[in-house]
Structure 1
Amino acid sequence: VQNLLNCVIFGSTLCSGRVEIFYNNSWGTVCDDDWGIMDAQVVCRELGCGTAIEATSRAYFGAGNNDIWLDDVSCSGNESSLTDCPHSGFGIHNCNHGEDAGVAQDRAHSLFFPDLIFTIGSTLCSGRVEVFYNNSWGTVCDDGWDITDAEVVCRELQGCGTAIEATSSANFGAGNNNIWLDDVSCSGNESSLTDCPHSGFGIHNCNHGEDAGVICADGARIKLVGLTLCSGRVEVFYNNSWGTVCDDGWDITDAEVVCRELGCGTAIEATSRAYFGAGNNDIWLDDVSCSGNESSLTDCPHRGFGIHNCDHGEDAGVNCTGETNF
């Protein structure tokens, strides 16, 4: 789950939940046929979550609603990734989502949280907010959603730092299950989002186009502003604010670093001349010249933060192959 490219869990903590893998540009579940502790052990190790406590079955952590990608998984326990284990073949199965597999894992307890997880976003600490209630995950409406509410979320997620931004209008994609919370109004001192005043579980006047999200300080240094999570104007977080990237020298190699950093697959296009609209804050980077091997755009050579000879009509962007569904 560190790079969000191959495997992720959807559940009640960062290290316990339904197992999903990324294949053919979408997330899908794993069938519990023959699912055992050795399989769970590979997942735990892959996610950096310690050792496996339990391999769960029968959609213990809730049923998925996308593809079922793996069935008859049979790990030896030494594999570095779940997808390296023998299985029936991607998409080949005789299951339904009532058989979705999961894991319970033993990790530093500070990373556990009882009611909250991000299911859409570029990192574990940035994404659409979902809460677990009545045995299912659901979203939070953005009515009244602000930085104080986001601060409670970031603190609850421990290890995610402080809140940078409270996002609205399904910035991280629209959910497709229940909308559990609306009119959330945190004071900022709550230990959990569900402790904040709200309209009541399931009581709302919203649609999923109003799903709320957060960006926490330790969760994001780059984002795309545009049509989808994987296509848009590139913005970088520096000196406590978001700013754009100038298109001087901007090319497909630079775009490739961005797409990989965001878990959005490979780069299709490096856009220029504010193709995705002009920003209105600082211009943080100019003359970016990536080799293509960097793990983050800010690791690439550039003129220095805030040093540029551009205007927002030159804002750079990217089109990536992926549609993230984390």
Structure 2
Amino acid sequence: MDVFDYKCNDPAGPTASEGHTANCSDSRELRLVDGGGRCAGRVEILQQGSWGSICDDSWDLSDAHVVCRQLGCGVALEATISAHFGEGSGPIWLNELNCTGEEAHVWQCPSQGWGQHNCRHKEDAGVICSEFLAIRMVSKGRECAGGFLQQQLWQCLPQPHEAMTLPVIFRQLDCGDFGTLYFLVPPREGSRPQWVDGICCQKTDTSL
């Protein structure tokens, strides 16, 4: 079983020992299990000394966003249901979560209360997070414009892919839904790594 733990009061952040850790509140802990990586898996909470899962009733991207942000894993790409990452074996701690997406911890979201549910583990909730913390465009004095992307990033983007990908970027940057792609953006001084190439977003994608 792949387990990535996030323990309380660990200012050092992720470690390479028993698991990966991050800050959380009071005595509760949060972890992702059986996702094969740090930022994906079944969502489990340590409450009253026992690791338990979350039921997928009403589980959606707003709930998953809180989990991903709490664990330092960027934004939620998918809120998985029906024990996508396998069934847990402990208590089912939370059900009918109704997060706004702005909560600091997933257990701060409205719910039916601790241990209140009519679920089975075949309904365990999970998340797939982006892992990337942020994107930005670079331009002096213009927040929603700049030489953020190099032309080769767009080499696979004939219509309609370009029309799908640009709105994803603008929405993620809170810059509206529409804009224009310019290829002739002068390069910045110095060199920086290129992290991705050939991006092709689909209609259902929520982040780059």
TM-score normalized by the length of structure 2: 0.55
The one of 106, 113, 137 equivalent to 2:24 is 113
Which structure 2 residue ranges, 5 or more long, are not aligned? Answer: 133-164, 169-195, 201-208
Query: What SS does structure 2 have at the residue aligned with 1:143?
Result: coil
| Runs of 4+ displaced beyond 3 Å | 8-11, 13-16
- 1:71-90 CA distances to partner (integer Å, 9 max, x unpaired)? xxxxxxxxxxx8xxxxxxxx
Name the residue aligned to 1:49: 15
Provide the C-alpha distance between the structure 2 equivalents of 1:155 and 1:11, rounded to a whole number of angstroms: 12
Query: What SS does structure 2 have at the residue aligned with 1:151?
Result: helix
The one of 63, 68, 72 equivalent to 1:154 is 68
Name the residue aligned to 1:12: 7
Provide the C-alpha distance between the structure 2 equivalents of 1:9 and 1:120, rounded to a whole number of angstroms: 8
- CA RMSD after TM alignment: 3.6
Provide the C-alpha distance between the structure 2 equivalents of 1:152 and 1:180, rounded to a whole number of angstroms: 16
Name the residue aligned to 1:214: 127
The one of 77, 83, 107 equivalent to 1:170 is 83
How far has the Cα of 1:187 moved from its partner?
A: 1.2
Provide the C-alpha distance between the structure 2 equivalents of 1:174 and 1:153, rounded to a whole number of angstroms: 18
- 1:127-183 CA distances to partner (integer Å, 9 max, x unpaired)? 11011111111000000000000011111112x111111000000111011100000
Which of the two has greater strand per residue?
1
The one of 110, 113, 116 equivalent to 1:197 is 110
Name the residue aligned to 1:180: 93
How far has the Cα of 1:49 moved from its partner?
A: 2.3
CA contact (8 A) 2:33 2:40 kept: no
- 1:81-134 CA distances to partner (integer Å, 9 max, x unpaired)? x8xxxxxxxxxxxxxxxxxxx79x9x8xxx323431112212111111011111
- 1:248-306 CA distances to partner (integer Å, 9 max, x unpaired)? xxxxxxxxxxxxxxxxxxxxxxxxxxxxxxxxxxxxxxxxxxxxxxxxxxx9xxxx666
Cα distance change, pair 117–48 in 1 and its aligned pair in 2 (3 A):
closer
Which structure 1 residue ranges, 5 or more long, are not aligned? Answer: 17-43, 51-81, 83-101, 220-238, 241-298, 307-326
Matches within 5 A, 1:22-101: 49=15
Provide the C-alpha distance between the structure 2 equivalents of 1:128 and 1:161, rounded to a whole number of angstroms: 17
Query: What SS does structure 2 have at the residue aligned with 1:200?
Result: coil
Aligned residues: 137
Query: What SS does structure 1 have at the residue aligned with 2:7?
Result: strand
The one of 56, 59, 62 equivalent to 1:142 is 56
Percent identity at matched positions? 42
Name the residue aligned to 2:39: 125
Which protein has greater RCO, CA pairs closer than 8 Å, 6+ apart? 2
CA contact (8 A) 2:33 2:85 kept: no
